Structure 1
């Protein structure tokens, strides 16, 4: 009668007699997880007034009686994950007002009732991931002002009412990845000023309102990968001054403009890989003075603008491979950057030339000025070459601006209009 903890996990119990725990009024922890429970008598737990933690995960429960938890007024944690539950009675938690953690993940729950958590004012963590929820109802999170973490990942959610999160003003982590969300509205996250992590990855998001993240001034991690974004809305990250990690991989981005990353002054990691990026504007990375890791691999990039990586003084790792680098004069900046900072290449993966001609398959970083630019300035300017090509390549580094000016000097007696000396 004096026991405070019982662990009956990892056995082969399929059920218990209704009097199994009779009289254990001092019991605080009960672990029935990892059995083959398919039925629990409604009165099994009725004497456990002091119970704080109840673990029922990884069983074969298909349903639970409405009154089964009613006597557990001191319960702080309940884990019913990894069962076969498809529906929960609306009043099942109505007497468990001290619950702090509820884990209902890995079930078959299809409906998240608006009244299911109406009495859980102390609740801090709610895990509803890996169910079959298709709709979230207005009021289902009402008055849950102490919530710190919500996980609705791996469901079938396509639409979220703007008012759904209006009461969860202390939320720190919101996990919504692997759903069917297609649009993020302006006011959806408006009340979450303390949010630290927002995961919207692996949805169907094609459009985000430019002010959707404006109030998330404490956000540190934003995951938007594996969606259908074709562009970054104006001002989307303007107010995210504390953001450290930004994930945009596997979208449909074709270009990034200079102001797209405005405001990301403390960003350390950005993932832009597996898009269809063809070019960046000149100063696209300029706002990110503290950037340490950059992934732009697996895109359609043929070259980088001169000085594109110049301001990234704290850069430790960059991944450039699996792009169709076109090895002519326009890739000269990248080649020189790789030679100077080869130790910063992510996992030592080299950028390889896609072409032209016999340069295909060569490492960009091993090519010099003559390899890339010999005889090409004239063709790039639609001029007829007036100097013979060198028979022997110059293997030592040369300032390509000086070389170009010398070349032009042989074509014109004075510097042509529009060409800077």
Structure 2
């Protein structure tokens, strides 16, 4: 019984196989695919054929009414074949067709009105042929066409009204042709258009108003042309635009406010243009922009507010700008959501200590292939999410030993290809590298000394005091001696962290001991006094309650001094006035005495 049931299930397939021509595969669902030595449309069962795929065949000509027998055929495709001629009525008698694909053939000319009966056609692909020109009559009747692909042909010119009838068109692909200019009104009737691809043509200019009626456009691709300039406000009438690609053109300047009124833009590419400068007012409010490509240009710097309106930016590619030598301090101030920043292969020689201060979400930072000689100690202080950092192939000679203290999420660090100067100043970063070797992915490629000559190619993580000869004078002598002695000598109260070291021989012979010594990696200030061959050292800590108390006491003393000075000045002023009065009184009394004596003298006479 089960055998009979299985045979009944297989019967339609067996029947179909007997009707399927040689070189074809027929599906019970109505799909037929044929390849190989086929020179004409195969004879198929019209009652079950819905889809016909002819690939890599020898068909050269489509005859008159080739598809009329297939009354249920909805989609047909002839691709990668030798097809070079189509009869003017090849598709007559098949008005039900929804999709026609004639890609990758040898077609150069289409008869006018060849698709005039295909009023239900939604998809037409004529790409990768040898088409030289297209008449507006070719699309006559295609009022329901949604997708048109005529890319990778040899079209050099289009009539202004060629797409006039295609009012339902959503997708238009004109890439890979030889178009040098576009009529201003070419796209004005395509108000439903969502994607327009004009890449890989020979466009040199774009007329103002070309895209004015494309209010629903989502994707505009203009890359790989020869565009030298764009008119102001060219993109202002596309508020729905999501993707704008302008890369690989000949743009040296972009008009101010060119990218205003694009609130929904998520991706913008400007790379591989000979841009010399950018205007201060270039980008409008772009809260949804996530991806910006601005590389391979001639920019020497960029406006400080370039990214100010891109608060949701995730990926920023600002690399391969060989003339980019400086970055404004606040350039990345307003990018709290940025996850990847590429600054590799530029000409950067230094970076401001706060240049990355606003990048709290940054995970990948590429700074390789620049000319950086050093970096500020706090440059990564406000990048807590940083995971991948590439500093390779710069001119780095030193790095502060605490530069990566705040990069607690760091997983991968590249340091090779730099010009490390292995004197005693390298010890702090060398010790950090030695303790964090698991983070550095290129130790085997040469994180090694460049100079002095006798240490060249020595790995930084293996350096010692002895290798650097730090025990023969200078600050390092003081530091090493101090550490060694502290291990043997207990600290002496009071609370100012006083300690003493017996170093009379060193003091007499070593010029490193001065009356005041400032330590780079130690306390803020170290004072020393000498008495009977001993060096008494005491420090003022830079942080903590003691430092706060000392600061407060200093302020009080300073205020008291100011008050005393003012009081002294006032007292002197009052004293001066009293002295003036006393002087006047004294002068008056003397005159009266003298008068009496004169009178007495006269009486005697």
1:5 paired residue among 58, 67, 75: 75
1:198-213 correspondence to structure 2 within 5 Å:
198-213=268-283
Q: Judge conservation of contact 2:148–2:173 (CA < 8 Å) in 1.
A: yes
User: Equivalent residue for 1:30?
Assistant: 100
Of 91, 98, 112, the match for 1:21: 91
Alpha-carbon offset, residue 350 of structure 1: 5.6
Give the superposition deviation at 1:224.
0.2
Q: What displacement does 1:376 show?
A: 11
Choose which of 277, 281, 300 in structure 1 pairs with 2:348.
277
Q: Is contact 1:152–1:176 with CA below 8 Å preserved after alignment? A: yes
For 1:14-413, list aligned pairs within 5 A: 14-251=84-321, 252-326=323-397, 327-328=420-421, 335=430, 338=433, 343=438, 345=440, 352=447, 355-358=450-453, 359-364=455-460, 367=463, 374=470, 410-413=512-515
The question of whether the paired residues in 2 share the 8 Å contact of 1:386 and 1:411 is answered with: no
Name the counterpart of 2:401: none
Q: Let me know the Cα RMSD of the aligned residues.
A: 3.1
Contact 1:374–1:389 (8 Å) recurs in 2: no
Deviation at 1:255, TM superposition (A): 2.6
Structure 1 residues 373 and 221: alpha-carbon distance in aligned structure 2, compared to 1, 3 A threshold: farther
Q: Following the alignment from structure 1 to structure 2, what is the Cα–Cα distance between the partners of residues 369 and 75?
A: 78
CA distance in 2, matches of 1:211, 1:376: 59
1:403 is matched with which residue?
none
* Partners of 1:372 and 1:282 in 2: CA distance: 29
Aligned in 2, Cα 1:377/1:269: closer, same or farther, shift over 3 Å? farther
Query: Which stretch has the larger CA shift, 81-90 or 120-129?
Result: 81-90
1:387/1:346 Cα in 2 relative to 1: closer, same or farther (>3 Å)? closer
Superposed CA offset, 1:130-172 (max 9, x none): 0000001111101110000000000001111112111101100
Partner of 1:398: none
- Contact 2:103/2:129 (CA < 8 Å) preserved in 1? yes
2:574 aligned residue? none
Is the alpha carbon distance of 1:337 and 1:133 closer, same or farther for their aligned partners in structure 2, counting shifts above 3 Å? farther
Matched-pair contact (CA < 8 Å) for 1:226–1:250: yes
- Measured in 1, the distance between the counterparts of 2:277 and 2:161 equals 38
Q: Residues 292-342 of structure 1, C-alpha deviation per residue, up to 9 Å, x if partnerless?
A: 111111111122211322332222212221112222477667656655665
Point out the structure with max Rg over C-alpha.
2
Contact 1:70 1:93 in 2 (8 A): no
- In structure 2, the gaps of 5 or more residues are 1-70, 398-419, 485-500, 502-506, 526-605
CA distance in 2, matches of 1:287, 1:173: 26
Cα distance in 2 for partners of 1:38, 1:249 equals: 42
Change (3 A) 1:386 1:74: closer
User: How many positions carry a matched residue from both structures?
Assistant: 402
In structure 2, relative to structure 1, the CA distance for the partners of 1:8 and 1:111 (3 Å cut) is: same
Ranges in structure 1 where 5+ consecutive residues have no aligned partner: 379-384, 395-405
TM-score by length of 2: 0.61
Deviation of 1:220 (Å): 0.5
Distance 1:104 1:365, change over 3 A: farther
Equivalent residue, structure 2, for 1:399: none
Secondary structure, aligned partner of 2:137: coil
**CA distance change for structure 1 residues 414 and 388 in 2, over 3 Å: closer, same or farther?**
closer
Deviations 1:44-78 (A, max 9, x none): 11111000000011111111122101211100000
The CA distance in 1 between the partners of 2:466 and 2:335, in whole Å, is: 38
Shift of residue 367, structure 1, vs aligned partner: 4.9
Normalising by structure 1, report the TM-score: 0.87
Choose between structure 1 and 2 for higher RCO, CA contacts under 8 A separated by at least 6 residues: 1
1:21 CA displacement:
0.3
| Partners of 1:307 and 1:333 within 8 A in 2 | no
Kept after mapping to 2: 8 A contact 1:324/1:354: no
Q: Is 1:169–1:193's contact at 8 Å kept on the other side of the alignment?
A: yes
Is 1:247–1:271's contact at 8 Å kept on the other side of the alignment? Answer: yes
Name the CA shift for 1:307/1:19 in 2 (closer, same or farther; >3 Å). Answer: same
Flag the structure with higher helix content: 2
